[in-house]
Amino acid sequence: MNILVTGATGKFGPLLVNRLVQERHQVRVLVHATPIHIAGVEQMTGDMTNPAEIKKACEGVDCICHLATVKGNKEKFLQVNVGGFYHVLEAARASDRLPQVILLSGDNVVPIYDYEHPALFDETTPYLFVDDEYGLSKILEETVALQYARKFRMPITVLRGSWIMEGMRATQLCHPRLGGWKRYLSDDLRKKLDAGENFYVVPLDMHGKPLKRHVVDPRDLAAAFVWALKNASTYGEIFHIAGPNAFDYQELAEYMTKKEPASIHGVATPDAFSFEISLAKARNLGFSPRHTIYNTVEWAFSGNL
Question: How do residues 54-82 score in pLDDT, each as one tens digit?
Answer: 999 999 999 999 999 998 888 888 999 99
Question: How do residues 136-170 score in pLDDT, each as one tens digit?
Answer: 999 999 999 999 999 999 999 999 999 999 999 99
The C-alpha atoms of residue 26 and residue 3 are separated, in whole angstroms, by 6
* DSSP 8-state class, residue 209: P
Closest CA to 201 of 257, 259, 246: 257
Considering the entire predicted model, what is its pTM? 0.96
Cβ atoms within 10 A of the Cβ of 249, count? 29
Cβ atoms of 61 and 74 closer than 8 Å: no
The pLDDT > 90 percentage for the chain reads 86
Domain boundaries, the chain: 2-166+214-245+275-296, 169-211+247-268
Facing residues of 157 across strands? 102, 237
Question: How do residues 195-234 score in pLDDT, each as one tens digit?
Answer: 999 999 999 999 999 999 999 999 999 999 999 999 999 9
pLDDT band at 128 (very low <50, low <70, confident <90, very high): confident
DSSP 112-149: TTTS---SPB-TTS-----SSHHHHHHHHHHHHHHHHH
Q: Give the class (CATH, top level) of 2-166+214-245+275-296.
A: alpha beta
* Secondary structure (3-state) at 222: helix
Q: Where are the alpha helices (DSSP H) in 42-175?
A: 51-58, 77, 84-94, 133-152
Residue 33 buriedness (CB in 10 A; 0-12 / 13-18 / 19+): exposed
The C-alpha atoms of residue 184 and residue 182 are separated, in whole angstroms, by 5
Q: How many helices (H) and strands (E) does the chain have?
A: 10, 13
Question: How do residues 253-301 score in pLDDT, each as one tens digit?
Answer: 999 999 999 999 999 999 999 999 999 999 999 999 999 999 999 999 9
Q: For residue 304, give Cα distances in angstroms to 13, 14, 24, 105, 297.
A: 16, 14, 21, 26, 11
